[in-house]
Amino acid sequence: MLDITYQSYWNNEENDIRVQPYCVKLFKQRWYLVARPDSAKAKPYIFSLDRILSLRVADKTFRMPEDWSAKDFFKDSFGIFVDTEVKPQVVKLKVSAGQANYIRDLRLHESQEEIRRNEEYSIFRYRLRPQFDFIQELLWHGSDMEVLEPQTLREEITRIIDSMRDNYHREGE
């Protein structure tokens, strides 16, 4: 087991936690530790390695659950957000022809399927949990990408774009 002192971006306090380390994952040029706090009912958490202030190997050991696999844990996730309360959904994206080449070469997710292609755009289908990191990726592609389904995700993207537009209609500092 590991004893870590961790400070998240969301909480200014340092937390001392004893964890059972399961795996590490690289996402967007940052390493993460997947570990379960040493508590009978705790689920695995994601800890960014750059926010671990100290780490020490504890004198206590644990047995890795035989039914746990990193591949299964992240299966329906885009990146490192794994909220099992968010159910996997079919997501359809319309992508401009030029950007579609990029998406074909560097798949957004293992479930990616190209279901339509013409000279102007392609439509890709995914099965995943549309969480924060996936939404950030969609926004990064700007006007080259449009969410077609599900409607709830389309509305969330619209709300974020409207909020961004409002920022630019106010006078800057």
**Residue bearing tokens 């401009």:** 96
Q: Which residue has the tokens 């002192």?
A: 5
Q: How does pLDDT run across 61-74, given as a tens digit for each residue?
A: 999 999 999 999 99
User: Which among 105, 30, 25 has a CA at the least distance from the CA of 73?
Assistant: 25
Is a pLDDT exceeding 80 seen at residue 126? yes
pLDDT in tens, 128-161: 999 999 999 999 999 999 999 999 999 999 999 9
The answer, yes or no, to whether residue 173 has pLDDT greater than 70, is no
Write down the domain spans for the chain. Answer: 2-60, 89-169
Count Cβ atoms within 10 A of the Cβ of residue 150 and give its class: 0-12 exposed, 13-18 middle, 19 or more buried: middle
pTM, full prediction: 0.84
Q: pLDDT at residue 95 above 80?
A: yes
Q: How far is CA 48 from the centre of its chain?
A: 13
% of the chain residues with pLDDT over 70: 98
> Span 89-169: which CATH code?
3.30.70
